[in-house]
């Protein structure tokens, strides 16, 4: 539990989204950017919602901790994650990508 005066860690993730994929998941993690395949179409925010759910499961954090800061209408997105340090984020993404290969 955070105490007054404690800082809450925040990390940033660059994502390249490929919507309407037959096999959703994080395909590549390199140079600090994740390539994520999603089954949802890029219509009415469906792909964005699927991205948040997927990242929540992979990182083991609540969906409310994930926010798309830029790129909501494009394939290249910047995601802000509250409550997870940058080094921890990179470690988890590396471990997950290693399992998928």
What are the residue ranges spanned by the domains of the chain? 10-100
Strands 10-18 and 33-37: parallel
Q: Per-residue DSSP letters for 45-62?
A: THHHHHHHHHHHHHHT--
* CATH code 3.30.160.20 for 10-100: no
How far is residue 29's CA from residue 65's CA, in Å, rounded to a whole number? 21
Q: Spell out the residues 6+ positions from residue 35 whose beta carbon is closer than 8 angstroms to its own.
A: 15, 16, 18, 26, 27, 28, 29
* Residue 3 pLDDT: 59
More confident residue, 40 or 30: 40
d(CA 45, CA 40): 9
Token pair for residue 18? 């490929």
101 neighbors 35 (Cβ within 8 angstroms): no
Report residue 100: phi and psi, to 5°.
Answer: -75, -20
pTM: 0.87
Q: What is the pLDDT of residues 47-98, one digit of tens each?
A: 999 999 999 999 999 999 999 999 999 999 999 999 999 999 988 888 877 6
């Amino acid at each position: 539990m955070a105490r007054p005066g404690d800082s809450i860690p925040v990390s940033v993730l660059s994502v390249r989204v490929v919507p309407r994929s037959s096999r959703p998941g994080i395909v590549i993690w390199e140079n600090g950017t994740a390539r994520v395949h999603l089954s949802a179409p890029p219509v009415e925010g469906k792909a964005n919602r699927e991205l948040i759910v997927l990242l929540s499961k992979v990182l083991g954090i609540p969906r409310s901790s994930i926010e798309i800061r830029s790129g909501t209408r494009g394939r290249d997105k910047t995601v802000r994650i509250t409550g997870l340090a940058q080094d921890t984020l990179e470690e988890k993404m590396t471990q997950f990508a290693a399992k998928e290969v």
